[in-house]
Amino acid sequence: MKRKSIILNDKDNVATALTELAAGEVIQMEMNDRSLSVTLLDTIPFGHKFSLTRIQSNSPVIKYGEKIGEATADIQLGQHVHVHNVGGTRGRGDLIAKEKK
Amino acid sequence: MSFWGYPRPDGSAGTRNYVGIIATVACSCDVAQDIVNQVDRTVPFLHYQGCDHLQPDKELVERTLVNLGWNPNIAGVLLVSLGCEVVDVNSILDRIVKSGKPVDKVVIQKIGGTSATIAEGSRIARQMISDVVKIKREEMDDSYLTFGSKCGGSDATSGLAANPVIGTACDILIQNNGSVVFSETTEFIGAEHLLAKRGDSPEVRQRILDVVDRYEKCVLSWGVDMRGGNPTTGNIEGGLTTIEEKSLGAISKVGTMPIKRVYDYGERATGKGLFMIDGPGQDTKSMTALAAAGAQVILFSTGLGNPLGFPFVPVVKVTANPATYERMQENMDVYVDLAKLDSIEKQGQLLYQEVLEIASGKSTKAEGLGLTNFGGIHTFGPTL
């Protein structure tokens, strides 16, 4: 059976879809000794991420065992995680400009 | 392991055997292209720089042109100059002469216009070619190779599979006493701490952090979010959410070996091992940096499907996106199977073998399609 998703590191709070996944689908995953079952709340396009846990607004999003950004809204388990609910913390000249005003 | 390479006077080996018609300035690019159109086995290097630079960029452009002339895939060089540009064609010529290759120049304003320069330049190039064609491939140890490692048109599959497979091939070459060069400083933002740990000395570790910091400060000074510029809209559609995520996926293309030194843009890497070249992520400019550093073949991962080649360095396109491979098969050389994520090392070994074939003369898709026309040189300062 074709693998549906991958978790890259056991510190990650997101998984990456290896094929398009439908809202409502239940994804079973294994990570070392961790067994997870996630019901997707959104369609997840190929290569996009979904959350493995609730991620509170302003909390770190972790992939590759490293911080890739911060949630800009509360993210529920099984939600699509992308630019609509995650901001980067690097190269944010817009925040510097905002502070100056 | 071995490949079949062209021996050069300085002891290096080429994977291709061209005479390079190198424009020193934007204004001489048309003539350089016209000479290439007239003379077989020549390749152009065309760009928009060479004039209206502050001193640091003048030096950068000159050293880039010099080191492109030194690239082992170039057997002889004809410089095409306008005559009034800021970069010094005589200095560039003298520095390429030290490689032991035949080097000459034509100057449009001295010879007297476009047509006369094309005629004289073609005559000189034909003379060079008559000697260059006598050089034959010899069997050589793979330690004579320098890979350039690059990504472009990235999506989530780049970091998952294509870059790690390229990284494995890079590790193999370094273990075999070859070299690897990589660039794209902007695409280390968010992952530079992981790269810096691999610096071979405290100075290298600090330099890695410094060059990334300098790029980020430049972005911050513009008062905008870099998202949308890098990562691009295409990267974002492909699943990359932030520059941090893109960078963490990008660094796997350079394998796991220690980083020996950080070079400036346009410098040539000397010695063996893994070397970083400071420069932008933009694809034509970063491939120029790799060619100037001495890469005789470039391994280029692309999730979304970048078709670009380079004038005189074969560019091997590696994709792990099955839709891209299916749609753009005429542009992709190697497919990395996402269903085989447990066998990255095996796929890396297979890629290495394929690259040795390409180094030995097998054509890449970009070469077959003639997608080898664009160079481009990065400058850090203002255009005056």
* Cα→Cα distances B287→B149, B268, B279, B314, Å: 9, 13, 10, 11
Chain A residue with CA closest to B193: the answer is A66
Question: What ipTM was predicted for this assembly?
Answer: 0.97
Task: Please check whether residue A26 touches B, CB under 8 A.
Answer: no
Chain A residue with CA closest to B251: the answer is A64
Q: What is the pLDDT of residue B265?
A: 98
Task: Please check whether residue B116 touches A, CB under 8 A.
Answer: no
Out of A68, A69, A91, whose CB is closest to B216? A91
pLDDT digit string, tens, across residues B326-370: 999 999 999 999 988 889 999 999 999 999 999 999 999 999 999
Tell me if B183 sits within 8 A of B150, measured CB to CB: yes
Q: What is the pLDDT of residue B238?
A: 96
Tokens of B380: 């850090």
Tokens of B314: 């074969």
**B149: part of which helix (H) or strand (E)?**
strand B146-151
Q: Which amino acid is at B64?
A: T
Residue A35 pLDDT level (bands cut at 50, 70, 90): confident
Tokens of B36: 């290439």
A-chain CB neighbours of B303 within 8 Å are 47
* Cα→Cα distances B71→B2, B33, B208, B270, Å: 20, 19, 25, 12
d(CA A46, CA B238): 8
Give backbone dihedrals phi and psi of B274, rounded to 5 degrees, phi first.
Answer: -105, 125
Out of B238, B245, B323, whose CB is closest to A68? B245
Q: What is the pLDDT of residue A30?
A: 83
Mean pLDDT value of segment A61-84: 97
Q: Which amino acid is at B115?
A: S
Task: Please check whether residue B195 touches A, CB under 8 A.
Answer: no
d(CA B349, CA B335): 13
pTM of the model: 0.96
Q: Which of B146, B153, B72 is nearest to B317 (CA)?
A: B153
Q: For chain A, what percent of residues have pLDDT higher than 90?
A: 84
Contact criterion met (CB < 8 Å) for A18 and B323: no
Tokens of B327: 């749609």
Q: Is the pLDDT of residue A70 over 70?
A: yes
CA atoms within 13 A on the CB side of B305: 11
DSSP one-letter code for B99: T
Contact criterion met (CB < 8 Å) for A91 and B248: no
Mean pLDDT value of segment A34-47: 94
B-chain CB neighbours of A8 within 8 Å are 160
Tokens of B48: 């928009």
Task: Please check whether residue B159 touches A, CB under 8 A.
Answer: yes
Q: What is the pLDDT of residue B26?
A: 96
Q: Is the pLDDT of residue A101 over 90?
A: no
Q: What is the pLDDT of residue A1?
A: 61
The size of the A-B interface in CB pairs under 8 A is 105
Q: What is the pLDDT of residue A33?
A: 76
pLDDT < 50 stretches in chain B:
none
pLDDT digit string, tens, across residues B277-302: 999 999 999 999 999 999 999 999 99
Q: What is the pLDDT of residue A3?
A: 87
Listed in sequence order, the residues at least 6 apart from B164 whose beta carbon sits closer than 8 Å to its beta carbon are B252, B253, B344, B348
B-chain CB neighbours of A55 within 8 Å are none
Tokens of A18: 């290896």
pLDDT digit string, tens, across residues B218-256: 999 999 999 999 999 999 999 999 999 999 999 999 999
* Cα→Cα distances A41→A23, A76, B150, B249, B337, Å: 5, 8, 36, 26, 28
